[in-house]
A and B are shown apart, each in its own frame.
Chain A
Amino acid sequence: MNPAADLASRGEEIVAINGLRKSFGAIEVLKGIDISVKRGEVVVVLGPSGSGKSTMLRCVNFLETFEQGAITVNGRPVGYKTTGGVRKPVSELENARLREHVGMVFQSYNLFPHRTVLQNVMMGPVKVKGMNAAKARDLAMRLLGKVGMDHKADAYPGRLSGGQQQRVAIARALAMEPSVMLFDEVTSALDPELVGEVLKVMRELAEEGMTMIVVTHEMGFARSVADRVIFMDGGVVVEAGPPADIMANPKTDRFRGFLSRHLSEDG
C-alpha cells in the first residue's frame, strides 16, 4: 500500500517452503519443493495439469496437510512445529490465526451465497478480527471500490457474473489485510471476455506491492507482471527465474514444450 515504506522492507522473507513433500494415499504429488517469496514479490507458478501447483498453494495456508518439509509465513510455522526434533501438528487456533495473514482466491470464487457482497467482504474483519462494524464497512467499501464492485455492494453473489464474483472474492481476501495473497487459477472458470477485468485487478495489486503467489495459465500475465516464474512438473520445481530470462530461454525440454503449447494460444 505504501511503496516507499515497502521498499525499505523488501528482501524480508514472507513465505518459505522447504523440502515440501505431500502424498495422496500412495501417490506422491509433491516431491520436495523449495520456494522462497520475499515481501512485495509476485511469483507466478506455471505447470501442466496435475503437476501439483494447487496442492502446493493449498499447503501454504494448510488447506492440505503434508508429510515432510516445513512452511513458514512471516516466520510462523504452518501446520506443524518441530521442537527437539519432534514434528507436531499445531493447534486449530494457531492455524486459524495464521490463515488471517494469508489471503486465498479460488477458481470457483466460493463467495457466501447467503450474504450480500458487502457482508461477504466485511465478514472476515468483523467476525474473525473483531473489527467494529462501521470501520469494517468503510474498509469493505474502499476495497470494493478498488475492484470496481462498490455499485453492487448490496447484491447477492448469485446475481453477479463470474468476473464480478471473482473480483468480490479478491476484495474479501484483501479485507483481512494479509501478508500474502494466493491465487489458484482464478480466471480458469471465467468466460474469455471476463478474464481481463480480473487480471487487471491483480495487476494493480501487484503494482501496489502486494506479495502474491499466482497459479495461472495466463502466459501474458506471467511475462508482464511476475518478478519470478516457477515451472513445476511432476511434483518438483523444474525451472525458476525472472520471466524475461527463463520464458525466453527455457533450459529444459519440459518447459520448452509447455511454453510452445501455451504460447500458441495466447499472445
Chain B
Amino acid sequence: MFPVLQSSLPYLLQGAVYTIVLSAIVVVFGTILGVGVGVLAAVGGKALRAAVTAYIFVFRGIPVLVVMFLGFYSFPAMGLRLDAYTAVAVSMIVYVAAFVAEATRGAIAAVPAGQLEAAKSLGMRKGMMMREIILPQAMRLLIAPVLNISLMAIKQTSYASIVGAWELSFAAREVVERTLAAFQIFLGVMIIYFVICYPLSLAARALEKRLAFDH
C-alpha cells in the first residue's frame, strides 16, 4: 500500500538504530553528569552552588539546536576534530545534564527536613547523611523526572540531522528528497519514533504515581 515506505524501511530502520544509540549515549552520560552536578551543588560551598545555578540557568534558557551548533562550530576552534555525530552527542550530554541537575536538586530538596534531623540525631555527619538518607530517597524521586527528560532527549536527537549527523530524521529527508513521498515517509518515521518513545512515556506516568514515599 505504501511502496516507497516499504522499500525504504530497511534504510529508515538503520537510521533508527543510530537514533537509539545516540539517545542511549546522551541519556546515560547526561544522567550521570547531571546527577553528579546536582549532588555537588548540594554538598558544595557557595561558589560551587552559584556555578551550578548559572550552568542550569543558561542551558535551560537556550534551544538545544543552538547548543548543538555551538558545539559543532566551537569544538574545531578548540582544536578538537569531532565528527558531527560526536559533536552532537557531547553537546546534548551537556544540555541534558543541566535538566537532570535541576531535577536532582529538586529531588534532594524534596526529602523532608525531619529526615535530616533524625539522621543528625543519630550522630550522622554530612557525608554519611547524604549517602545513607538523602540520596537513596532522592534517587527514587528522580526516576520519573529523568524518564521524562530522556523522552525529551530522544525526540531532540532528531535535530542532529540539522547539524549534519546521520540518524533517523536525516535518513528520512534523504529518502524524501529522492522519492518526494513526504507523507508516507514522515508519517512512517513519526510512527517509528512513537514506538521508541511510547513505552518510556507509559513507564514515566506509571512510576510517577508509584514511587512517592508516604512519609
Smallest Cβ-Cβ distance to A172: which chain B residue? B122
A99 x B123 contact (CB < 8 A): yes
Partner of A92, one of B118, B125, B132, B214: B125
Determine the interface band of chain A, counting residues with CB < 8 A from chain B: 20 to 34
Name A94-143 residues within 8 Å CB distance of B: 96-100, 102-104, 106, 108, 110-114, 123-124, 127-129
B137 touches A114 (CB 8 A): yes
Whether A114 pairs with B123 at a CB distance below 8 angstroms is no
Contact (Cβ within 8 A) A61 B121: yes
- B199-215, CB under 8 A of A: which get 1 and which 0? 00000000000000111
B114 to chain A, nearest CB (A): 4
* B interface residues (Cβ-Cβ under 8 A, vs A): 112, 114-115, 117-126, 128, 132-133, 136-137, 140, 213-215
Contact pick for A106, options B118, B126, B132, B137, CB 8 Å: B118
Whether the pair B117, A110 counts as a contact (CB closer than 8 A) is yes
Interface residue A198 (Cβ < 8 Å from any Cβ of B): no
Contact A128 B214 (CB under 8 A): no
**Distance A2 CA – B137 CA, assembled complex (angstroms):** 39
A114, chain B: closest CB distance, angstroms: 5
B123 engages A100 (CB within 8 Å): yes
Q: Which of B114, B123, B125, B213 has the most CB of A within 10 A?
A: B123
- The digit string for A78-104, where 1 denotes a CB below 8 A from any CB of B, is 000000000000001100111110111
Task: From known contacts A112-B133, A123-B132, infer whether A128 and B117 are also in contact, taking CB-CB under 8 Å.
Answer: no
Q: Do A128 and B124 form a contact, CB below 8 Å, given A112-B115, A112-B118, A114-B140?
A: yes
Bound state CA distance, A110 and B120, in angstroms?
12
Known: A99-B121, A110-B118, A128-B122. 16 other contacts (CB 8 A): A61-B121, A96-B120, A99-B120, A99-B122, A104-B121, A111-B118, A113-B137, A113-B215, A114-B136, A114-B137, A123-B132, A124-B122, A128-B123, A129-B123, A173-B121, A173-B122
* Pairwise interchain contact A110-B115, C-beta atoms closer than 8 A: yes
Knowing A110-B114, A158-B214, the reply to whether A102 touches B121 (Cβ < 8 A) is yes
CB distance from B140 to the nearest CB of A (A): 7
Chain A contacts for B119, CB-based, 8 A: 112
Chain A: CB-nearest residue to B139: A114
Chain A proximity of B107: nearest CB distance (Å): 13
Q: Complex Cα distance A108/B128, Å? A: 22
A127 contact from B115, B124, B137, Cβ within 8 A: B124
**Contact residues in A for B117 (Cβ distance below 8 Å):** 63, 104, 106, 110
Interface digits, A46-66 against B, CB 8 Å rule (1 contact, 0 not)? 000000000000000101000
A176 within 8 Å of B (CB atoms)? yes
- CB proximity of A94 to chain B, nearest CB, Å: 11
CB distance from B108 to the nearest CB of A (A): 14
B170–chain A nearest beta-carbon distance, Å:
44
Q: Is the CB of B128 within 8 A of A127?
A: yes
Which residues of the other chain, B, contact A114 by a CB distance below 8 angstroms? 136-137, 140, 213
A-B residue pairs, 7 tightest by C-beta: A100-B123, A110-B118, A110-B114, A104-B121, A124-B122, A113-B213, A99-B123
